Chains A and B, each alone.
Chain A
Amino acid sequence: MREARLAYILIAPAVLFLTIFVAYPFFMALWMSLTSKRLGMPGTFVGLGNYLRLLDDDIFRQTAWNAVLYTGVAVGIKTVTGLALAMGLAKLSRGAQLIRAIVLLPWVIPISLSALAWWWMYDPLYSVFNWGLGLIGIHKIPWLSNPFWARVAIITTNIWRGLPFYGLCILAGLLAIPRELYEAAETDGAGRLATFWYVTLPLLRPVLGTVILYSVVMTISDFETIYLITRGGPRNTTHLFSTLAYQVGLVGTEIGLGAAIVLFIFPVLAVAAFLLIRLVRQSEQIA
């Protein structure tokens, strides 16, 4: 009984923090999304009017597609390359600690600094990439003025930044797999591919599920990368929900509409979280 009381006391600050800084803003945003509120002025209740207006808006539909594409491609590539990176790091013996620390650098550098550096590398006038391409006789790439290349640019930046996180989390999962299972598989004559498919991957599923879920949430809600590199352009082809909400809600002062934009992703993320957590739980039972 005393322990239970102490437990409640100890988690009270965290609950208070979450209530004030997470729950309250969330419900406030939910309320605002149902009104015509503009910044500095009250609004009137419009029900689902903002959401219906967004569904009819091709900039919003473009943004939704951008978000699916950005998240799907970036998370997919990060998963595959993160797994490869982890497997490579697991095989290291000499200098493993140092190399793992270096690999973590992109994750550690503040996103605002790294995004600015990438922006300079893609800069229309002074791109170092285009300079390099010019040296080998390749015509310069319109990194930020062409929708395809602008998407490549921001996805590359996102992958560069997120890969260390994937690599090190999966590495932790890899190192936790008992050595005996690999020895048993080897004894049974399993090759590398079979070992990976039947031993490594199933036992990595809980870690992979968690990492992918986290990455989906962080990627779909990315703001800094887009804001600093493309600002949602060219022609709204790299806008994500967060940057569009910023433009509409803060710059345009239509905060009710801005809130509706970001809340659109909430049910999608809730479903994604539910499915991934189920997958993780099933994998844990199998393990």
Chain B
Amino acid sequence: MKKTGSKNYTRREFVKAAGAVTLSAAIGGPMVIPRRASAQKKTVSVLHWSHFVPPFNPELQRQVEEWGKLRGVEARVDFIAIRDLPAKLAAEAESRRGHDVVEVRFFSGPLYRANLVPLGDVARDLEKTAGPWLDIAKYVGFVGGDWVSIPWYYYNIPANINTDHWSKIGMSSEDVAKLTWDGLLEAAPKLQANKTPVGMAISECSDGNDNTFTVLWSFGASMADAQGNVTINSPQTAAAVEYVKKLAKFMPEDIMAWDDSSNNRFMLSGAGSWSPNGPSVWAVAKKDNMPIQAKIDHVPMPAGPAGRFRNALPICLGVWKFSPNINLAKDLIRYLLKKENFEKQAEASWGYNLPLLVGNRTAKVWTREKALRYYEPPKEPVYVSGYPAPPSPATQIALNLYIIPTMFAKAVSGETSTAKAIEWAEKQLKRIYAG
């Protein structure tokens, strides 16, 4: 080694020195580097799905930020794909970290009841100013003697029709609005012959739940009763399944692979004549100035032996118990449900969002847009998938596992007989409701 003013290090010494420096920095760094004095505002965050109708998201963001300015806090909305919402809620509940206000839909409120702040005070205040609550609001929001979440808005599932295709077989929108399921079965072959079939998802997706429950109700069948006794194995269920087996012959073969966006594409492409869906098809066509917008109409779902029903998807807001801003979160919820704010939300959603408080039915969009005349208010009874089963974790789990659409799919595909498909569903549901 040359003798110089500085020492020559071996590789081993260098590695040891580097390791020691790194370790010291990791342990001592935070103590040495001064922290900025904490003068940050509080931040209230909201978790919401990314709405189908594009203008809604910025309007919601605007309202939340406006509220934040009024209260002297930072406020933001995080939008998430609808499919990712259940896992996100699960992660937040388990880690006890996340947003202050979260969207809970269907029976996620009861599912996470132990982690959510009771909101009875908020519900009573809102009822005084804009009440009463619709029955479906109380069904999902008021559980076990208290409000576990605040019902905010809902959307329902009418039949989307292409008026051109129906007029070719001599039927107007008003004719389709009065259809029974038998009437649909008569029309379906004619529409299929014109290469413009009817279609609905009978698959493991949210649409699959919505469609099959609507059929069950109209045949007088149910998954479970209000006490949680499994009632799926009944002649009424068998009649519903047998009906769908007949109708499915006139639908596209792949309805058992449809996801929540498939029927939207089915209708927007012009290929479909009829499909149950919220008004998102019409909204997208309107947003993109598609010619098909003028042909899309919404009519009630067909009636069965037990009547005509409309499926509803309520969106509620919950506040996590671990939120450091519980009172602010409650205040934000009250703000969002104020009449004038809800009206702006309804307009921004192009009428998609429907009020769960009767007093919030002030938006003009539902009377202004002809295509929404049957959408709001629905004249037939409105139920949530799962009804009349109790609003409980078991009901939410049954929906999450798509037991009912799978039952229909097993019979429709010929994998099993109708009786065996129903027995399978009964076994699964009994296990779920037994806990």
Report chain B residues within 8 Å CB of A142: 253-254, 257
Report chain B residues within 8 Å CB of A251: 86-87, 90, 400
Tell me which of B52-60, B108-116, B137-145 binds A. B108-116
Closest-by-CB residue of A relative to B115 is A40
Say yes or no for B393: interface residue by CB 8 A criterion.
Answer: yes
Determine if A235 and B256 form an interchain contact, defined as CB atoms under 8 angstroms apart: yes
Interface size on B, residues (CB 8 A): 42
User: Which residues 1-39 of B have a CB within 8 angstroms of A?
Assistant: 12, 15-16, 19
Residue interface bits A249-261, CB-to-B below 8 A is 1, else 0: 0111111000000
Also in contact, A145 and B94, with CB within 8 A (given A6-B12, A9-B19): no
Report chain B residues within 8 Å CB of A232: 204
Determine if A125 and B266 form an interchain contact, defined as CB atoms under 8 angstroms apart: yes
Also in contact, A235 and B410, with CB within 8 A (given A40-B114, A41-B114, A252-B401): yes
Residue interface bits B249-274, CB-to-A below 8 A is 1, else 0: 00011111111001001100101000
Determine if B114 and A39 form an interchain contact, defined as CB atoms under 8 angstroms apart: no
Q: Contacting B424 at CB < 8 Å: which of A53, A58, A247?
A: A58
Determine if A250 and B115 form an interchain contact, defined as CB atoms under 8 angstroms apart: no
Report chain A residues within 8 Å CB of B94: 39-40, 255
CB distance from A259 to the nearest CB of B (A): 12
Q: Contacting A144 at CB < 8 Å: which of B16, B254, B397, B401?
A: B254
Q: In the bound complex, how far is the Cα of B97 from the Cα of A40, in angstroms?
A: 11
Q: In the bound complex, how far is the Cα of B93 from the Cα of A253, in angstroms?
A: 10
Determine if A235 and B431 form an interchain contact, defined as CB atoms under 8 angstroms apart: no
Determine if B257 and A150 form an interchain contact, defined as CB atoms under 8 angstroms apart: yes
Say yes or no for B203: interface residue by CB 8 A criterion.
Answer: yes
Q: In the bound complex, how far is the Cα of B111 from the Cα of A57, in angstroms?
A: 23
Report chain A residues within 8 Å CB of B288: none
Residue interface bits B409-435, CB-to-A below 8 A is 1, else 0: 110010100000000100010010000
Also in contact, A235 and B90, with CB within 8 A (given A6-B15, A125-B266, A247-B401): no
CB distance from B165 to the nearest CB of A (A): 16
Determine if B257 and A235 form an interchain contact, defined as CB atoms under 8 angstroms apart: no
Q: Contacting B265 at CB < 8 Å: which of A6, A59, A126?
A: A126
User: Which residues 1-32 of A have a CB within 8 angstroms of B?
Assistant: 2, 6, 9-10
Also in contact, A234 and B256, with CB within 8 A (given A246-B87, A250-B87): yes
Among B12, B15, B90, B271, chain A packs the most CB atoms within 10 A around the CB of B90
CB distance from B213 to the nearest CB of A (A): 18
Say yes or no for A231: interface residue by CB 8 A criterion.
Answer: yes
Q: In the bound complex, how far is the Cα of B112 from the Cα of A41, in angstroms?
A: 9
Give the A-B contact count at a CB cut-off of 8 A: 100
Say yes or no for A106: interface residue by CB 8 A criterion.
Answer: no
Also in contact, A231 and B90, with CB within 8 A (given A124-B252, A143-B257, A253-B111): no
Q: In the bound complex, how far is the Cα of B253 from the Cα of A230, in angstroms?
A: 16
Determine if A247 and B400 form an interchain contact, defined as CB atoms under 8 angstroms apart: yes
Report chain A residues within 8 Å CB of B265: 125-126
Report chain A residues within 8 Å CB of B93: 39-40, 253
Say yes or no for B218: interface residue by CB 8 A criterion.
Answer: no
Say yes or no for B406: interface residue by CB 8 A criterion.
Answer: yes
CB distance from A123 to the nearest CB of B (A): 8
Determine if B257 and A144 form an interchain contact, defined as CB atoms under 8 angstroms apart: yes
Report chain A residues within 8 Å CB of B393: 38, 253
Determine if A233 and B204 form an interchain contact, defined as CB atoms under 8 angstroms apart: yes
Determine if B114 and A124 form an interchain contact, defined as CB atoms under 8 angstroms apart: no
CB distance from A127 to the nearest CB of B (A): 9
Report chain A residues within 8 Å CB of B428: 59
CB distance from A3 to the nearest CB of B (A): 8
Determine if A234 and B203 form an interchain contact, defined as CB atoms under 8 angstroms apart: yes
Report chain B residues within 8 Å CB of A53: 431
Report chain A residues within 8 Å CB of B271: 125
Say yes or no for A236: interface residue by CB 8 A criterion.
Answer: yes
User: Which residues 40-83 of A have a CB within 8 angstroms of B?
Assistant: 40-41, 53, 57-59
Q: In the bound complex, how far is the Cα of B403 from the Cα of A236, in angstroms?
A: 11
Closest-by-CB residue of B relative to A41 is B114
Q: In the bound complex, how far is the Cα of B91 from the Cα of A232, in angstroms?
A: 22
Determine if A234 and B16 form an interchain contact, defined as CB atoms under 8 angstroms apart: no
Determine if A253 and B114 form an interchain contact, defined as CB atoms under 8 angstroms apart: no
Q: In the bound complex, how far is the Cα of B201 from the Cα of A125, in angstroms?
A: 13
Q: In the bound complex, how far is the Cα of B15 from the Cα of A58, in angstroms?
A: 57
Report chain A residues within 8 Å CB of B262: 124-125
Also in contact, A234 and B431, with CB within 8 A (given A6-B12, A125-B271): no
Residue interface bits A199-236, CB-to-B below 8 A is 1, else 0: 00000000000000000000000000000001111111
Determine if B413 and A234 form an interchain contact, defined as CB atoms under 8 angstroms apart: yes
Which A residues form the contact surface with B (CB < 8 A)? 2, 6, 9-10, 38-41, 53, 57-59, 124-126, 140, 142-145, 150, 230-236, 246-248, 250-255
Chosen A-B contacts, 10 in total, with CB atoms closer than 8 Å, are A10-B15, A40-B93, A125-B254, A125-B271, A142-B257, A144-B257, A233-B203, A234-B256, A253-B93, A254-B397
Which B residues form the contact surface with A (CB < 8 A)? 12, 15-16, 19, 86-87, 90-91, 93-94, 111-112, 114-115, 203-205, 252-259, 262, 265-266, 269, 271, 393, 397, 400-401, 406, 409-410, 413, 415, 424, 428, 431
- List 4 tightest A-B contacts by C-beta distance, closest first: A40-B93, A124-B254, A144-B257, A145-B257
Known interface pairs A58-B424, A125-B265; 14 further A-B residue pairs with C-beta atoms within 8 A, sorted by A's residue number: A6-B16, A40-B114, A125-B252, A143-B254, A150-B257, A230-B257, A250-B87, A250-B90, A251-B90, A252-B397, A253-B397, A254-B397, A255-B90, A255-B94
